[in-house]
């Protein structure tokens, strides 16, 4: 089956990004595919390239990057939720005349339509709420 | 059949009550994260007898809950079991 996952919680505020990671690994272990992970609301904080947890703690954003690279998963970040929280890619940084950008490699800013599309085209869409 | 996931404790949130009010006969409920507290005996009176009940054992263990502390209606599953439940359900509804 083809799965997509939506995450509404930040990496260190609640358990949702953690739960979603465990779930994603179990999905892949059962030989399903994951098309897209959509980051919405505070979930957009999972896409910051500047996340720097203590060394003995899990780096949740880095784990998403690794998993996505290994299994060809799209990591899509809601552009409206991201920009208002200060998560910008190079293009948005230029648009808003900001000195720098901080969207981590492997993540893409896009619209809410990508979440609707995942719900319509994938066999399952699982939401991990904050 | 819909799989409903609930991630909030019934002691601090009304999500489980709302879920139980909305679920159709034959649906399945899976408790995750702080939702696992609903599987303790203190909340067994909330449950309907026409639904099936599952609880994520990883999140139980993280909160010091073992099978002796949960009501018999609840069946513990691991993340593989969680995925299996999503395979069998027509769709998944997350309450949070």
Supply the pLDDT for residue B38. 98
Chain A positions touching B87 (Cβ under 8 A) are 1, 30, 124
CATH code assigned at B29? 3.40.1260.10
Count of the separate structural domains present in chain B: 1
Supply the pLDDT for residue B64. 97
| 8 Å CB contact between A106 and A61 | no
Interface test with B, best of A126, A128, A130 (most B CBs within 10 A): A126
Tell me the C-alpha to C-alpha distance, in Å, between residue A8 and each of A100, A126, B1: 25, 11, 25
In B, minimum Cα distance to A22 occurs at: B79
Chain B positions touching A5 (Cβ under 8 A) are none
Secondary structure (3-state) at A20: helix
- pLDDT beneath 70, residues of chain B: none
- Farthest-apart Cα atoms in chain B, separation: 32
Structure tokens at B78: 């691991």
- Nearest in space to B7 (alpha carbons), one of A60, A26, B15, B41: B15
pLDDT, tens digit (0-9, with 9 covering 90-100), for A30-81: 999 999 999 999 999 999 999 999 999 999 999 999 999 999 999 999 999 9
CATH 3.40.1260.10 fits A2-128, yes or no: yes
B33 touches chain A (CB under 8 A): yes
B63 touches chain A (CB under 8 A): no
Structure tokens at B13: 């949130």
Beta strands in B1-96 (DSSP E): 2-6, 28-31, 52-56, 74-77, 91-95
Domain map of chain A by residue range? 2-128
Supply the pLDDT for residue A96. 97
pLDDT, tens digit (0-9, with 9 covering 90-100), for A72-130: 999 999 999 999 999 999 999 999 999 999 999 999 999 999 999 999 999 999 999 99
ipTM over cut 0.90: yes
- Domain of B28 in residue numbering reads as 2-95
């Amino acid at each position: 089956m083809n799965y997509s996952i939506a995450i509404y919680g930040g990496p260190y505020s609640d358990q949702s990004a953690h739960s979603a990671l465990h779930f994603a690994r179990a999905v892949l272990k059962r030989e399903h595919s994951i098309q897209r992970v959509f980051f919405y609301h505070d979930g957009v904080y999972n896409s910051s390239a500047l996340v720097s947890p203590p060394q003995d703690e899990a780096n949740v954003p880095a784990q998403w990057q690794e998993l996505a690279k290994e299994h060809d998963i799209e990591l899509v970040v809601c552009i409206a939720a991201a920009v208002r929280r200060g998560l910008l890619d190079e293009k948005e940084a230029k648009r808003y005349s900001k000195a720098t950008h901080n969207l981590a490699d492997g993540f893409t800013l896009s619209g809410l339509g990508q979440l609707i599309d995942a719900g319509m085209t994938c066999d399952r869409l699982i939401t991990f709420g904050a | 059949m819909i799989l409903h996931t609930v991630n909030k404790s019934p002691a601090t949130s009304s999500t489980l009550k709302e879920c139980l009010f909305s679920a159709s006969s034959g649906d399945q409920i899976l408790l995750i994260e702080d939702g696992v507290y609903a599987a303790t005996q203190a909340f067994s009176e909330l449950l309907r007898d026409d639904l099936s009940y599952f609880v994520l054992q990883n999140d139980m263990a993280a909160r010091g809950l073992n099978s002796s502390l949960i009501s018999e209606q609840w069946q513990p599953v691991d993340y593989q079991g969680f995925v299996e439940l999503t395979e069998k359900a027509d769709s998944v509804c997350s309450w949070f």
